[in-house]
Amino acid sequence: MELLLLFGGVLTKKSGGKVLAIIGACGIGLSIVLYGSLFYFGFVQRGGLYDELRAQSSQIAMTSLVQAIEFYKVENGHYPDSLEILNQSLPENSSVVVFDPTDVSWSSSPRYYHYELKDSSHYYLLSVGQDGEPYTSDDILPNIELKPDSKIGLIFHDSSTGSTL
């Protein structure tokens, strides 16, 4: 509708209508460029500031996710078999995030964090990073200090040095 009005303003014989139509066209063009740039830098571009922000967001989300996993064990007597099962057990308006924000691919479904049960008392939780492979140097780990006498089941894989943000 706006484009029809804009086109009609250009074709008008009144000089004020043409000026207004040109100003409107410039505003629409600027909006397209601005929102296109925000989309590109926020969701498409790799490297730079936005990757670092996504990594920080991922680390914060995983730290909360560890708490949710541990609470699941208290409530159910065992760790969840998968993050999908944990996600189904969360309240509808839960702020716990089970999807990895570092994944900027165009896939139809979001990528879950890498969660793997080692045994009935221990599990791995990490973001696979840019390479998409678990247990490599670009993995992002939860910001939790694991002590030898810890009751938390989270463990870090030997080959996952992880990102230290």
| pLDDT of res. 24 | 82
**Cα–Cα distance measured from residue 151 to residue 154, given in angstroms and rounded to the nearest whole number:** 9
Domain that includes residue 29, residue range: 2-44
Q: Domain tally for the chain? A: 2
Look at residue 114 in the predicted model and tell me its pLDDT.
96
Query: For residue 164, what pLDDT is reported?
Result: 46
* Claim to verify: residue 58 and residue 99 sit in the same structural domain: yes
Task: Give φ, ψ of 78 to 5 degrees.
Answer: -155, 160
Let me know whether 6 and 57 are in one domain.
Answer: no
Residue 9 lies in a domain: yes
Q: Within 13 Å and on the Cβ side, how many CA atoms surround 106?
A: 4
Q: What is the pTM of this model?
A: 0.69
CATH of the domain at 78: 3.30.700
Task: Verify that 73 and 14 share a domain, yes or no.
Answer: no
Mean pLDDT per segment of 10 residues, for the chain of length 165 residues? 57 70 85 83 66 88 96 97 96 92 78 95 92 90 90 82 50
Please indicate, yes or no, if residue 18 is contained in any of the structural domains.
yes
